[in-house]
Structure 1
Amino acid sequence: MASNPYTPEQDEQLVSSIEQTFSDQKAAFLATPYWSAEQRIAHLKQLRSAMMKYQNQLVTALDKDFGNRAEGDSKMADFMPSLMAVDYAIKHVKSWMKPSKRHVGMLFQPAKAYVMYQPLGVVGIITPWNYPLYLSLGPLATALAAGNQVMIKMSEFTPNTNAVMEKMIGEAFGANHVAIFAGGPTVAAHFSTKAFDHLLFTGSTRVGKLVMAEAAKNLTPVTLELGGKSPTIIGDDMDMRDAVSRFILAKTLNAGQTCVSPDYILCPEGKTDDLITACKHWFNKMYPTVEGNNDYTSIINQAQLERLTNWLDDAQQKGANVHCISEESVDACIAKGKLPLIALTNVTDDMIVMQEEIFGPLLPIVSYQDVEQAITYVNERERPLALYVCSHNKALQEKVLRNTHSGGVCINDAAMHVAQDDLPFGGIGASGMGHYHGPEGFQTFSKAKGVFAKGKINSAVQAFPPYGKLIHKLIYTFFIK
């Protein structure tokens, strides 16, 4: 991996700062354990105002961190959905906070029962490098709506973005309310050892297991957003140019460095050539050039670029056919830190690209004879974070929905389910656990506390021992049958 841009001395200072901030946030939460709806909305508006003020600085910092981060990728896929998450929370926090009335059985009357949504306390968020704004500010908005204190650990691979985030959040909030931490892997490892009241991690499955192991020592509940190999099933009824238009943006956005990017395509047998031709049509229309095109994002660092080229070499050596979708030289693009979209056919399970989440612009294509075979192919593998279906056949859509498991699904689109604020987002199995976004996100960062309340009349005394009284016989007659 790329070297840590933070010095050991900086990391050591950050570890000490985490200790102090965690203690301060715990104390601050105890001092104000339940913010009113008006106060929570004010916090969210503070965040929104700060984001608008620092918008351009954040976009510039992202560009520096990636070597070239398309301004459109930063605004459309990182900043804008973060802002939408804040606005959505502002709009709904009052309704989310309302107690949920529940039924009380006849035996326990007169009484009432309800669920109160109480802040958890101090929430930890560990953010990856690919979408450092959306994957930190999005959950931050929900955690603030739920009334929590929040500590965020940013990736060491986005130091310029981290610096702007620290300044932005520092102006909007006191460190005892919201705090941002940069630093390298040792800082991240220490961060995950803290006894947070909830910990949300977005990243690889390998690191997610380490984070969960540390959280378990404190019985800290976790939400893990891990990714995996998200398939796209193209129905036999679908025009191929139409089908590709449904997933090509999700595959090329951020140069494929997206956890819900289509990882491989399941294509009807005999239509692979049409698929590749359609990919070339759309890709070259979107990106007439790659090497010097600011609209096409670079691979984040040299280590990630080498990983992708090594996996490409591995596939080629094991018999895969390589189809460069761009008309430019792949080597020339690589020299500039970029990798154009590359399709791979004749792929086999012994290739690394068919074993690991690709997280880049490599696109394996697997042929299938019928949709049952495609479904079996998906189900024989670990459950993905997302699954995409390109088909106008309602029966096929329903068959895939009912017979596969995934964190989320798009029908005739890809990745856009993540931007739907009212839908829960989360993985299943190897792609993660738990979810956030929507009202489910508010509930993730809240304690659903059941409350049973009685008034002046205490009917329970009638059923006190000694047993065998008429009331007991009546209770048994009515409720044990």
Structure 2
Amino acid sequence: INKKAINSIEENSIVREMEEIVGELREYFKTEKTRSVTWRKNQLTCILDLIHENEDAIFKALHLDLGKHPVEAYRDEVGAVEKSANKSLSCVEKWMAPKKSDIPLLFFPAKGEVFSEPFGVVLIFSSWNFPIMLSLDPLIGAISAGNVVLIKPSDQAPACSSFLANTIPRYLDSNAIKVIEGGSNVCEQLLQQKWDKIFFTGSPSVGSMVMSAAAKNLTPVTLELGGKCPAILDSLPNPSEFKLAVKRIVGGKWGPCSGQACIGIDYLLVEDNLSYSLIELLKKIIRRFYGENPVESKVISRIVNKHHFQRIRNLLKEPLVAASIVHGGFIDEENLFIEPTILLDPPLDSQIMTEEIFGPLLPIITLNKIQESIEFINAKPKPLAIYAFTKDETFKRKIISETSSGSVIFNDTLVQFLCDTLPFGGVGQSGFGRYHGKYSFDSFSHEKAVMHRNLFLEIEPRYPPWSQFKLEFLKLAYRLNYFGLLLHILAFKLGFKKYN
């Protein structure tokens, strides 16, 4: 009884804290200070100051949580945030300016505009695998659009969560941008509040809960989820091109956070006659990148925690899966380390081929013809990305037109995430909504249509009483080109009394 009472008191305390935070953010948004271009640019500049002045602290936090090397931490987190903030800083004034819209001559005289207005109070849930970048990059979009924001970092990356909670208030407007830490109970209570926009990065299972909670208030959501992202390796007769393709595959599988990335390669499709040479080259490049003993290399991230470590290890416990290992398989539970591991043709109904791996295991699936990869991919939920290494233009067109995914990348991996001129986002189970660059600004903005009309030159057939002439006129209005319609309007004006 006492324990239940304590839990109830704690829950009520959390609810009050949530309500107070959301209330403060909403009141500050009403002041309209966040709508000014000056405020937006100041906050973006402060984000740049934050990452520049705290780079070493960020590296330390990322190493504590995930064992990331400083170079990997800069490439995937600090550098990505810096690039995103600089892009928004240089473009935000142009993005927020009203845009003229062409108005059909039917509405003459009139003009149209589209205003991008902030949603208001925004909730950002970030993920543990890129805890700095996946917190600050969406924040950049939300700030650029003029919103107030509450960030909930993942408690599975506690050092980074603590860093964000302690550092953001020192640099950014604490009335408009707040950070709250905590576990699942905090997340649950946050979702009970009314938000104007929710941005979530994480698993499909949690994403569905976020969407369900948002539906109660008809809150718009952006879900950045994951899925089993395939790579397709076509035959490349040129040895140097084949080697470069395999090198990029290694980078796309084990490079980002030891495979713990939503856009990382989940499995590889290849023709049977290429499998031997592929595996040998994969082994060679893995040794070059991570040494003969990867656990001692200190250049590959560890698994985030014991729960995920156990989940990945369980994928290898099925006898037929274990028998398919052709490289790696070493596991160090004390250091939460799993060696880069290659499997050849594990059972297609095994967990490793039906669940997202999110770890350093690479199944290779052999096919008779590489064109069969399209049917193989289509039999699974829509992935966040498809990576295809091929020079066959016909095959490229078939991949684009006959598959559905968040993105398709030919002859490289991961680079789409850093390209601000392309939208990043999923489709189906891999999520929906898009961001990066201008797309981030759009994701956190409502495009409000505004039409200006004058109080003369009325088109009377829009009003009753109805007549056959008015019906014919309206038909012409929808069917004729604009200049032809103008002539009919003028003719109608001249003879209106007669026809009426």
Q: What is the TM-score of this pair, normalised by structure 1?
A: 0.92
285-294 vs 418-427, greater mean Cα deviation: 285-294
Question: Which residue is 1:77 aligned to?
Answer: 76
What amino acid sits opposite 2:187 in the alignment?
A: A
- Residue 443 of structure 1: CA displacement? 1.2
The answer to whether the 8 Å contact 1:385/1:407 transfers is yes
Question: Alpha carbon RMSD of aligned pairs, Å?
Answer: 2.3
What amino acid sits opposite 1:272 in the alignment?
A: S
The answer to whether the 8 Å contact 1:215/1:221 transfers is yes
Pair 470,162 (structure 1): closer, same or farther in 2 beyond 3 Å: same
2: CA distance between counterparts of 1:473 and 1:265?
61
Alignment of 1:124-203 (within 5 A): 124-203=123-202
- Residue 115 of structure 1: CA displacement? 0.9
1: CA distance between counterparts of 2:321 and 2:290?
30
Alignment match of 1:313 (pick from 307, 310, 317): 317
2: CA distance between counterparts of 1:86 and 1:259?
22
1:416 aligns with 2:418: no
2: CA distance between counterparts of 1:13 and 1:351?
45
Q: Secondary structure at the match of 1:207?
A: helix
The answer to whether the 8 Å contact 2:34/2:148 transfers is no
The answer to whether the 8 Å contact 1:11/1:183 transfers is no
Question: Which residue is 2:24 aligned to?
Answer: 24
1: CA distance between counterparts of 2:44 and 2:34?
15
The answer to whether the 8 Å contact 2:131/2:153 transfers is yes
- Residue 9 of structure 1: CA displacement? 9.0
Pair 249,14 (structure 1): closer, same or farther in 2 beyond 3 Å: farther
The answer to whether the 8 Å contact 1:21/1:175 transfers is no
- Residue 371 of structure 1: CA displacement? 3.1
Question: Which residue is 1:56 aligned to?
Answer: 56
- Residue 313 of structure 1: CA displacement? 1.3
- Residue 394 of structure 1: CA displacement? 2.4
Unaligned runs of 5+ in 1: 1-6
Q: Secondary structure at the match of 1:359?
A: coil
1: CA distance between counterparts of 2:45 and 2:8?
36
Q: Secondary structure at the match of 1:424?
A: coil
Question: Which residue is 1:366 aligned to?
Answer: 365
What amino acid sits opposite 2:343 in the alignment?
A: L
1:453 aligns with 2:456: no
1:303 aligns with 2:301: no
What amino acid sits opposite 1:261 in the alignment?
A: G
What amino acid sits opposite 1:31 in the alignment?
A: T
Alignment of 1:346-365 (within 5 A): 346-365=345-364
2: CA distance between counterparts of 1:470 and 1:462?
13
What amino acid sits opposite 1:275 in the alignment?
A: L
What amino acid sits opposite 1:95 in the alignment?
A: K
Q: What is the TM-score of this pair, normalised by structure 2?
A: 0.88
- The one-character-per-residue Cα deviations of 1:351-393 (angstroms, maximum 9, x if unpaired) are 1110111000000010112233110000111000011011222
Alignment match of 1:241 (pick from 226, 240, 243): 243
Alignment of 1:239-278 (within 5 A): 239=239, 240-253=242-255, 254-278=257-281
223-232 vs 16-25, greater mean Cα deviation: 16-25
The answer to whether the 8 Å contact 1:198/1:222 transfers is yes
Pair 43,268 (structure 1): closer, same or farther in 2 beyond 3 Å: same
2: CA distance between counterparts of 1:359 and 1:152?
24
Question: Which residue is 1:392 aligned to?
Answer: 391
1: CA distance between counterparts of 2:105 and 2:158?
61
What amino acid sits opposite 1:40 in the alignment?
A: R
Alignment of 1:422-433 (within 5 A): 422-433=421-432
What amino acid sits opposite 1:62 in the alignment?
A: L
State which structure, 1 or 2, has the greater radius of gyration over its C-alpha atoms.
2
Question: Which residue is 1:65 aligned to?
Answer: 65
21-30 vs 189-198, greater mean Cα deviation: 189-198
Q: Secondary structure at the match of 2:294?
A: coil
The answer to whether the 8 Å contact 1:108/1:460 transfers is no
The answer to whether the 8 Å contact 1:237/1:393 transfers is no
2: CA distance between counterparts of 1:351 and 1:280?
24
The answer to whether the 8 Å contact 1:233/1:389 transfers is yes
Question: Which residue is 1:3 aligned to?
Answer: none
2: CA distance between counterparts of 1:452 and 1:404?
40
- Residue 469 of structure 1: CA displacement? 8.6
Question: Which residue is 2:477 aligned to?
Answer: 479
1:283 aligns with 2:286: yes
- Residue 56 of structure 1: CA displacement? 1.1
Pair 265,175 (structure 1): closer, same or farther in 2 beyond 3 Å: same
Question: Which residue is 1:294 aligned to?
Answer: 298
What amino acid sits opposite 2:312 in the alignment?
A: L
Pair 186,468 (structure 1): closer, same or farther in 2 beyond 3 Å: closer
1: CA distance between counterparts of 2:398 and 2:245?
18
Unaligned runs of 5+ in 2: 1-6, 480-500
Question: Which residue is 1:112 aligned to?
Answer: 111
Pair 15,49 (structure 1): closer, same or farther in 2 beyond 3 Å: farther
Q: Secondary structure at the match of 2:346?
A: coil
376-385 vs 283-292, greater mean Cα deviation: 283-292
The answer to whether the 8 Å contact 2:270/2:370 transfers is no
What amino acid sits opposite 1:232 in the alignment?
A: A
2: CA distance between counterparts of 1:129 and 1:9?
29
Pair 164,403 (structure 1): closer, same or farther in 2 beyond 3 Å: same
- Residue 39 of structure 1: CA displacement? 2.5
Question: Which residue is 2:491 aligned to?
Answer: none
The answer to whether the 8 Å contact 2:320/2:346 transfers is no
2: CA distance between counterparts of 1:340 and 1:62?
20
Q: Count residues with an aligned counterpart.
A: 468
The answer to whether the 8 Å contact 1:264/1:364 transfers is yes
What amino acid sits opposite 2:427 in the alignment?
A: I
2: CA distance between counterparts of 1:393 and 1:175?
53
Identity among equivalent positions (%) equals: 29
Alignment of 1:323-338 (within 5 A): 323-325=326-328, 330-331=330-331, 333-338=332-337
- Residue 195 of structure 1: CA displacement? 1.5
- Residue 471 of structure 1: CA displacement? 9.2
1: CA distance between counterparts of 2:349 and 2:468?
74
